[in-house]
């Protein structure tokens, strides 16, 4: 059983799988192809990725891959918490440049589904945060792109964490959406 909540952009969903808990902890089925397909997520995932961010305020993104290696992502937090963002970058979309965000935490067990055609990024809200995600296309360095997290056209309202974000060199130098 999963709860699916549309986040306001086409096919971007928050998903919360059911947890079964007792005094030992909990069990949760974090992905079931049939149940997700019934919820409108029929992508075939081909690769799993795992990231760890040591410090709160680590910002990763906004990332995407160009066709023919565009990727859909199903992402969850294994430890800690993040503010996760999806940005519609489909040029013909009426929602081009619009974004949605949701807080994902290990405690809540919620997930985000980001379809192909969207840029994705997140900022960690706690130290030692770990994120796992599935993608429906293989990584291709040749098609890998990023957009500035501070693009004024997109105007993401990142949470105030009381310090400057920690960025990779790639993310710190990412171009604006209009310059792609």
Selection from 134, 80, 152 nearest residue 109 by Cα: 80
Q: Which two tokens stand for residue 116?
A: 């192909």
Please say if 139 is a catalytic residue: no
In 31-170, the DSSP E strands lie at 47-53, 59-65, 73-79, 81-88, 99-105, 111-114, 118-124, 129-135, 144-146
Helix (H) or strand (E) holding 172: helix 169-172
Q: Which two tokens stand for residue 125?
A: 């809200």
The catalytic residue among 36, 63, 120, 149 is 63
What secondary structure does DSSP assign to 9-56, as a single string?
STT-EEEEE-EEEETTEEEE----HHHHHHTT------EEEEEEESST
The catalytic residue among 36, 120, 133, 149 is 133
Taking the C-alpha atoms of residue 115 and residue 74, their distance in angstroms, rounded to an integer, is 9
Please say if 63 is a catalytic residue: yes
Q: Which two tokens stand for residue 44?
A: 């075939």
Which positions are catalytic?
63, 133
């Amino acid at each position: 059983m999963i709860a699916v909540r549309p986040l306001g952009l086409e096919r971007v969903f928050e998903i919360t799988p059911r947890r079964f808990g007792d005094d030992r902890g909990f069990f949760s089925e974090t992905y079931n192809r049939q149940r997700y397909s019934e919820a409108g997520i029929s992508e075939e995932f081909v690769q799993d990725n795992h990231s760890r961010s040591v410090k709160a305020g680590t910002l990763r993104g906004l990332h995407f891959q160009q066709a023919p290696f565009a990727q859909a992502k199903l992402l969850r937090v294994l430890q800690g918490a993040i503010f996760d963002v999806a940005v519609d970058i489909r040029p013909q979309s009426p929602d081009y440049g619009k974004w949605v965000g949701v807080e994902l935490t290990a405690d809540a067990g919620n997930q985000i589904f980001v379809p192909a055609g969207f840029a994705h990024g997140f900022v960690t809200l706690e130290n030692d945060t770990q994120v796992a995600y599935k993608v429906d296309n293989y990584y291709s360095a040749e098609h890998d792109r990023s957009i500035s997290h501070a693009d004024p056209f997109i105007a993401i309202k990142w949470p105030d964490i009381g310090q400057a974000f920690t960025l990779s060199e790639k993310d710190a130098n990412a171009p604006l959406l209009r310059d792609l």
